[in-house]
Amino acid sequence: MVVEEGSPKSPEAKLGLEVEDLWDIQEPQLSPTEKLNACFESIPVSEFPQASSSQVIEIRSDASLGEAVQLLSQNKILSAPVVDVDAPEDASWIDRYLGIVEFAGIVVWILHQSEKKEGIDAADVFAKALQDSTGPAVAAAASGMSSPRYRSSQPGSPKTAGNFFESLTSSDFYKNTKVKDISGSFRWAPFLALQPSNSFLTMLLLLSKYRMKSIPVVDLGDRKIENIITQSAVFHMLEECADLQWFKSWGSKKLYELGLPSMKPNRIIKVEEDEPVLQAFRIMQEKGVGGVPVVASGGNKATGNISIRDIQYLLIAPEIYKDYRSITAKNFITAVKNYLDENKKESPSMSGMITCKTDDTLKDVIMKLDSMKIHRIYVVDGEGNLEGLITLRDIISKIVHEPRGYFGDFFDGILPIPQTSRV
């Protein structure tokens, strides 16, 4: 491929030009989707631009939960692979890594310590652990907040004050728990990874149809992760390719012409402003979604958004909730915005609702998502009511498809989430 003078020089743009070259030599009778499938199948994952060093990080299995949270927060990432410090030096990559640790898994694991399990009242155990280091009031709050009887929809249900998380994160229970102690809660055992020789099509299908948030690329020779492909990186690649011929047949179309949004308004997972924020994070974990809109009580008008990445603020800055009797979704958004303003920090998910209309083009949506570094955008009507949402998965599903029998035995040896898993 020859890149002419004045052509874009970013790695993503050069990649787009490579697709353009492949596009031009495809059989004319193929549909646009079939052509693009063939193009992406011809490009190995090794050609995907390298992630920054801050994204390709690993967490030691003997790190505490607090250390893991700080590392994820400082590097502005949602998850990281866990290296088994007890693995022998010559271990294969599959024995070298325990799994993936993420914000959501840490918090849900903590909350589940107070649920009854296998006939043992773990709430009493958890309360005792907290009482030893924080006092009976906090222990009681923990049991009330996370017991199986807790239901946010019931009047008078327990609410959680900010001092609970402040006390929890300063407790010995939190400080002494290691990342390896919650390794059984990881979704993949150890996790699903690509090899450099796998194709772009494989990577795109894993991010869309198979709902992966990020994909490690493992060098079998070095037995370690050499790259991590994130949803944000794919959005940026598509944005850099938006004006190329192969993408125009999709990018120039309006959302409604592409059948987007595909999800009907009554199927959107959402929380109301006065619901506990923990309910929002529980819903995200249970439903496997990266964020939920916050709507006015009893209505469908979106007033804010809470992302899975925002769970970090419950752990790294719990003192900001001291002034609230309960941490509702509305109070959480307000408190975090004030915290970010005071500390001159930015968070894409806390910059307000990111919305679009059904007559916006796909290119418009991709450029907005890339500029904001977010993974989802809400579709609203003229009154601001939710009509749907669009994610990277929706976009990818419109431009490529999985051929019959494509993955073959690719998933052999990869264990799905066990039925007994608590996360």
What is the DSSP annotation of 217-242? EEETTTTEEEEEEEHHHHHHHHHHTT
Whether residue 38 sits in one domain with residue 13: yes
Instruction: Note whether residue 408 is domain-resident.
Output: no
Q: With 70 as the cut, is the pLDDT of residue 419 above it?
A: no
Instruction: Note whether residue 255 is domain-resident.
Output: yes
Q: With 70 as the cut, is the pLDDT of residue 274 above it?
A: yes
Whether residue 366 sits in one domain with residue 268: yes
Q: What is the mean pLDDT of residues 290-315?
A: 87
Residues 6+ apart with CB under 8 A from 404: none
Q: With 80 as the cut, is the pLDDT of residue 277 above it?
A: yes
- At 33 the pLDDT is 92
Instruction: Note whether residue 416 is domain-resident.
Output: no
Is 214 buried (19+), middle (13-18) or exposed (0-12) by CB count in 10 A? Answer: buried
Q: What span, in angstroms and rounded, lies between the C-alpha atoms of 346 and 351?
A: 8
- Domain extent for 381: 249-399
20 against 316, higher pLDDT? 20
Instruction: Note whether residue 148 is domain-resident.
Output: yes
Residues 6+ apart with CB under 8 A from 96: 83, 84, 87, 223, 224
Q: Are 169 and 188 in contact (CB under 8 A)?
A: no
Whether residue 253 sits in one domain with residue 214: no
Least confident piece of the model among 5-19, 36-50, 294-308, 377-391: 5-19
Whether residue 198 sits in one domain with residue 103: yes
- At 319 the pLDDT is 83
- At 143 the pLDDT is 39
Instruction: Note whether residue 421 is domain-resident.
Output: no
Q: What is the DSSP letter of 309?
A: G
Task: Give the chain's mean pLDDT.
Answer: 79
Q: Are 37 and 396 in contact (CB under 8 A)?
A: no
Q: What is the CATH number of the domain that holds 378?
A: 3.10.580.10
Whether residue 205 sits in one domain with residue 79: yes
Phi, then psi, of 343 in degrees rounded to 5: -100, 10
Phi, then psi, of 26 in degrees rounded to 5: -75, 155
Instruction: Note whether residue 206 is domain-resident.
Output: yes
**Where is the domain boundary, 164, 197, 232?**
232
Where residue 125 falls among pLDDT bands split at 50, 70, 90? Answer: very low
- At 316 the pLDDT is 85
Number of residues that this document lists for the chain = 423
Q: What span, in angstroms and rounded, lies between the C-alpha atoms of 400 and 392?
A: 12
Q: What is the mean pLDDT of residues 363-381?
A: 91
For strands 291-295 and 271-272, give the pairing. parallel
**Where is the domain boundary, 232, 263, 278?**
232
| pLDDT tens digit sequence for 69-81 | 889 988 888 888 8
Q: What span, in angstroms and rounded, lies between the C-alpha atoms of 127 and 141?
A: 9
Question: H-type helices in 258-300, by residue range?
Answer: 277-287
SS3 category, 254: strand
Instruction: Note whether residue 117 is domain-resident.
Output: yes
Count how many domains the chain has: 3
Q: With 90 as the cut, is the pLDDT of residue 284 above it?
A: no
Whether residue 34 sits in one domain with residue 152: no
Strand partners, 376: 391
Q: With 50 as the cut, is the pLDDT of residue 423 above it?
A: no
- At 175 the pLDDT is 83
Q: With 50 as the cut, is the pLDDT of residue 418 above it?
A: no
Whether residue 21 sits in one domain with residue 52: no
| pLDDT tens digit sequence for 136-181 | 433 333 333 333 333 333 333 335 566 777 777 888 878 888 988 8
Instruction: Note whether residue 418 is domain-resident.
Output: no
Is 297 buried (19+), middle (13-18) or exposed (0-12) by CB count in 10 A? Answer: exposed
Q: With 50 as the cut, is the pLDDT of residue 335 above it?
A: yes
Closest by CA to 231, choosing from 139, 342, 307, is 307
Whether residue 224 sits in one domain with residue 300: no
Whether residue 295 sits in one domain with residue 226: no
- At 401 the pLDDT is 93
Q: What is the DSSP letter of 142?
A: H
Where residue 352 falls among pLDDT bands split at 50, 70, 90? Answer: low
Is 41 buried (19+), middle (13-18) or exposed (0-12) by CB count in 10 A? Answer: middle
Least confident piece of the model among 6-10, 43-47, 209-213, 335-339: 6-10
Whether residue 258 sits in one domain with residue 209: no
Q: What is the mean pLDDT of residues 259-286?
A: 87
